[in-house]
Structure 1
Amino acid sequence: MLGERIGEGRGRVTTQRVLPSLGGGPKMETSFQSSGSLLGVADTETGTYVAVVRPDGSLFGEGQGITMSRDGDVLSWVGQGVGTLQKGGAVSYRGAVYCQTTSPKWARLNSLAVLFEFEVDSDGNTRGEFFEWK
């Protein structure tokens, strides 16, 4: 069951590059930076994901990132999601990330699957929302 909203972030794509597809669909690596909050703690996030276009036109992505608070708390995450291409090159993803941290502020995330909605518009602006999976 989708639980409470535990975070959000807005930012920008910082770099993209095309990767060898090795016989599969087109593959793109995207990095982004965002600012927002997680469990009520203001944060900045840097992440990179690789997305592959599947034969049906949908996207499959895998990524990793680091989230930091203004007080020096650090959290790392890995995740996967599926998505769709939108008009103008925008993308929309849904998936889950798994966190690891020693920060007491974010420690409960170590034992959760955090569900996400992640959007990138045609200008490279990002928007993410994060939910506890109960």
Structure 2
Amino acid sequence: MLGDLIGETRNKDTGRRVLDAGDGHVVVEVSFESKGNYYGTPVTGFGTYESELRPDGTLHGEGQGVDMTADGQTVTWRGIAVGHFTEGGGTSWRGSLFFSTASPQLDRLTHLVGLFEYEVAPDGTSAGKYYEWK
């Protein structure tokens, strides 16, 4: 069940690259920059994920990234998700996140599994909401 809101981010793709394309099998790598917050603490960061088009038309994605507070504390994350294409050419994702940090301010993240909703517009802008899994 969804628990407390961890935070939200607004993101912008900075690069896309096709890693594999053959016989209907497509894997795309997307890099992005983000701004947002975890538990009210502002962070900026960047990450990369790979999305694979599956035979049934759904997407499988895995990614990783790093976020930083204004005073240089870092949070790293790894995620895995399922997604689908939306009307107009965007994508919609649901998945899980695992965090790691030495930041006393954000240590709570290391001890939980995050669940997320992530919406990507055709122009490469996106928004994510992150929740604790209770």
TM-score normalised by structure 1 residue count: 0.95
Post-superposition offset of 1:83: 0.2
Q: Deviations over 1:82-118 (max 9, x none)?
A: 0001133201100001001000111111111011111
Q: What residue is the counterpart of 2:100 in the other structure?
A: 100
Q: What residue is the counterpart of 2:78 in the other structure?
A: 78
Q: What residue is the counterpart of 2:30 in the other structure?
A: 30
Q: What residue is the counterpart of 1:123 in the other structure?
A: 123
Aligned equivalents of 1:29 and 1:130: distance in 2?
A: 22
Aligned equivalents of 2:106 and 2:65: distance in 1?
A: 15
Post-superposition offset of 1:23: 6.7
Q: What residue is the counterpart of 1:66 in the other structure?
A: 66
Q: What residue is the counterpart of 2:43 in the other structure?
A: 43
Q: Deviations over 1:41-66 (max 9, x none)?
A: 00012010000011110000000000
Q: Which amino acid in 2 is paired with 1:28?
A: V
Q: What residue is the counterpart of 1:16 in the other structure?
A: 16
Give the secondary-structure state (helix, strand or coil) at the position aligned to 1:88: coil
Superposed structure 1 runs of 4+ greater than 3 Å apart = 21-24
Q: What residue is the counterpart of 1:2 in the other structure?
A: 2
Aligned equivalents of 2:24 and 2:106: distance in 1?
A: 38
Which blocks of at least 5 consecutive residues in structure 2 are unaligned?
none
Post-superposition offset of 1:25: 2.0
Over aligned residues, Cα RMSD in angstroms? 1.3
Aligned equivalents of 1:30 and 1:106: distance in 2?
A: 26
Give the secondary-structure state (helix, strand or coil) at the position aligned to 1:110: helix
Post-superposition offset of 1:26: 0.7
Which blocks of at least 5 consecutive residues in structure 1 are unaligned?
none
TM-score normalised by structure 2 residue count: 0.95
